[in-house]
Structure 1
């Protein structure tokens, strides 16, 4: 089986990079980003400093053929550079706090705006996943060549890659009561409800499960956890779509019971 590079690469998004990830997801979906703030920030930070403008003006003074015009232009350019320096400093002191205040609303809006595009990607992946070879070799190129399913593999790989910017709009942090192997996939997971497995014991030895009929969600989560741990996020994402467990957002958080599915 061919070793391949991971396709689903959710970014390690944090408070400082989240707005950029939101904007990137909008662009990936072909939508206009909800704010021009990044472009404004980049323009402010890219403005030449007063020292840079002064150095350029000094060079130009050596070759100018119109000293009066040079002087008039120099005053205007230095005033602009000084204002730009002041704006850069003031903006830098306040920008992150402003973004932090706006992020909850921007994230909620992004989840709503991007869901139709996300659902379209999931539908494509779901269809392709059902055409792939069964088992852990589902995304293996050699296996798909042998099975004549190369077209489905290409669609599946492209769809998994497309899931990355959507998942990356959420901060990547440890989540209480969620197996670490699934945390990376939470933004695309619709985790089922999990019941605590009730075990009957005799002399401290497990002998039987008392609530087997209530454990469908628990067993699904265990299976996904093992899939992610043993075969990576790509295989798990394929399984998630194939078994119709996809959703966009972090609605899957909070359903697990501590210690229920292990790490």
Structure 2
């Protein structure tokens, strides 16, 4: 297990997708329906027609203009390369039996869920205010890493929901500790709130809990989200132009990729500014 000391590189670097080491699992294992995000219907286990024989996307540079915006938003947290190269030892779904291929497709979302939890747990260790729960975080981090290393058969029987619930209890306590030290006054609790299309331009959301909030198409232009908990918040088409997300935590790259923003949007160091933001004006 990695030593999570402060001198180590950020472990979350290993939780970024490396498509060159994956057998195009997200393009095969996952289903999608014709919508604003996908130009076609596709069943789980059926390869996307844009997937080429070398497991690369034939329209990778044209995904948005060809109606596959959903592909540009998705991120597997590095699960694709783990399942391809470690769990199944580098044997792709073409080379094995149909049963083995189905097993690979079933295991992929399980490992993806575990890797997402690893992202949150690793981030929790970077938050000084959460030191009172760091021992619990390290314990759950070790358990999650062990679960992700299991055999295909073991992963197929894993109750991810039960493990996620245990992790979430510690992440919730982490949130409370971190937000307590942000600014002054009562912290806004918008957990699970329906804020779809809400007009929150310039809103003061410092230290707010936006866990699981629905912020689809909300206007957060210039909003102050410093120190806000964004775990599970739905940011599809959310306008983050010139918003300040400095110190916002449990924010993932897929969430950010689904939103809209600008060069003036201030972001935590753990995420990258989406390339499509530069063309949004």
TM-score, with normalisation over the residues of structure 2? Answer: 0.27
More helix by share: 1
Q: Work out which structure has the larger RCO, using CA pairs closer than 8 Å and 6 or more positions apart in sequence.
A: 1
Q: Of the two, which has the highest radius of gyration?
A: 1
